[in-house]
């Protein structure tokens, strides 16, 4: 463990995609390092591997471990490393948490996945079991649209209060009321992060400690710039930048992050393979749209 994470991170938490080799192969190590370095150029507050954008849920256990190792090695302490765990069973989540600690991650981001709807008690025990298995701080990640689990602000705040290492919340439901409730229910004591790209501006206004986003893969330092403008109180400039970025943010969300971000990286000259089936390559017409959006923002090729 790198010794990071005594303080909550503040700013951009960048989410890389997971490059696959051609022909349906496993993790593409070279691509993985390039994607990571591309994000590190802009000095994010942290990097989170194996998130939604990283197709975490689609990887075999061995691939997940491979990515976890590679991620920690590649970052090599330059910024904190967060690893995402999205599992249907508690046993599998616990095993990954232990592995993450072994390989030197700094934090876990945990999202329960539902086939059958989970009660609050079931969700609580899921987190408690993971917390019991590792000393790593945990970010509880709410994203009902992908996971099928909708954790209420009351539950999230209760878990932070009652499970020692559950410390942060990532809110991706896109509902501002959740952020308001988390802040009010916790007397502003629970750092929450915005995971809904299309409302990043307003989440920062609402008091989010940071923005968890795959957008830096395509937009480089612009998300960080938005964060800094809001911190400096330059709301007009922040708003102006946000509306410039919004078409890209909306595009990558609505088309699915792995699909669209991989397409965008290819457009920037960094081939990272396809998303994993059934996810398909971005259709031609949509790629043309994305190309136009990136050109409109004068997005440059990935640095060499």
- Buried residues in 196-228 as b, exposed as e (16+ CB within 10 A): bbbbbbebbebebbbbbbbbbbbbbebbbbbbe
The answer to whether 288 contacts its own copies (rule: CB under 8 A) is no
Question: What is the DSSP pairing of strand 192-194 with strand 138-142?
Answer: unpaired
The answer to whether 197 contacts its own copies (rule: CB under 8 A) is no
Considering beta carbons, is residue 67 or 74 the nearer one to its own copies?
Answer: 67
- Whether the CB-CB separation of 46 and 74 falls below 8 Å is answered with no
The answer to whether 257 contacts its own copies (rule: CB under 8 A) is yes
Q: For its own copies, which stretch binds (CB under 8 A), given 10-18, 31-39, 175-183, 211-219? A: 175-183
User: Which of 113, 109, 36 is closest to 67 using CA atoms?
Assistant: 36
- Whether the CB-CB separation of 101 and 135 falls below 8 Å is answered with yes
Q: Which residues partner with 281 through β-bridges? A: none
Distances (CA, A) of 246 to 59, 190, 197: 30, 28, 8
The answer to whether 117 contacts its own copies (rule: CB under 8 A) is yes
CB of 182 to its own copies, least distance (A): 11
The answer to whether 121 contacts its own copies (rule: CB under 8 A) is yes
The answer to whether 133 contacts its own copies (rule: CB under 8 A) is no
**Euclidean distance between CA atoms 282 and 263, whole angstroms:** 6
The answer to whether 23 contacts its own copies (rule: CB under 8 A) is no
CA angle 130, 175, 112 (to 5 degrees): 20
CB of 207 to its own copies, least distance (A): 6
Considering beta carbons, is residue 1 or 128 the nearer one to its own copies?
Answer: 128
What tokens were used for 215?
């957008």
The answer to whether 115 contacts its own copies (rule: CB under 8 A) is yes
Residues that bind its own copies (CB under 8 A): 24, 52, 55, 57-58, 86, 88-91, 112-119, 121-123, 125-126, 129, 145-148, 176-177, 180, 183-184, 188, 198-199, 201-202, 204-207, 230, 233-236, 238-239, 243, 246-247, 256-259, 275-280
């Amino acid at each position: 463990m790198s010794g990071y994470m005594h303080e909550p991170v503040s700013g951009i938490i960048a989410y890389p995609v997971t490059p696959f080799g051609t022909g349906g192969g496993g993790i593409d190590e070279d691509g993985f390092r390039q994607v990571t370095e591309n994000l590190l150029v802009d000095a994010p507050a942290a990097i989170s591997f194996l998130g939604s954008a990283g197709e975490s849920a689609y990887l075999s256990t061995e691939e997940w471990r491979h990515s976890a190792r590679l991620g920690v090695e590649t970052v090599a302490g330059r910024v904190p490393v967060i690893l995402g765990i999205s599992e249907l069973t508690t046993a599998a989540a616990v095993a990954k948490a232990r592995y993450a600690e072994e390989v030197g991650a700094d934090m876990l981001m945990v999202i329960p996945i539902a086939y059958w709807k989970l009660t609050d008690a079931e969700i609580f025990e899921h987190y408690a079991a993971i917390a019991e298995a590792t000393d790593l701080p945990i970010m509880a990640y709410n994203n009902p649209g992908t996971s099928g689990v909708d954790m209420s602000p009351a539950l999230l705040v209760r878990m932070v209060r009652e499970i020692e290492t559950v410390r942060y919340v990532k809110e991706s439901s896109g509902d501002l009321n959740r952020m308001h409730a988390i802040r009010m229910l916790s007397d502003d004591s629970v750092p929450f992060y915005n995971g809904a790209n299309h409302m990043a501006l307003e989440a920062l206004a609402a008091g989010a400690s940071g923005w968890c986003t795959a957008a830096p893969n395509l937009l480089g330092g612009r998300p960080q710039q938005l964060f800094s403008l809001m911190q400096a109180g330059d709301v007009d400039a922040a708003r102006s930048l946000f509306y410039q970025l919004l078409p890209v943010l909306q595009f990558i969300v609505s088309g699915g992050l792995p699909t669209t971000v991989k397409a965008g990286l290819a457009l920037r000259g960094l081939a990272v393979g396809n998303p994993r089936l059934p996810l398909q390559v971005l259709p031609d017409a949509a790629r043309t749209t994305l190309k136009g959006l990136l050109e409109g923002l004068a997005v440059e090729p990935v640095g060499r």
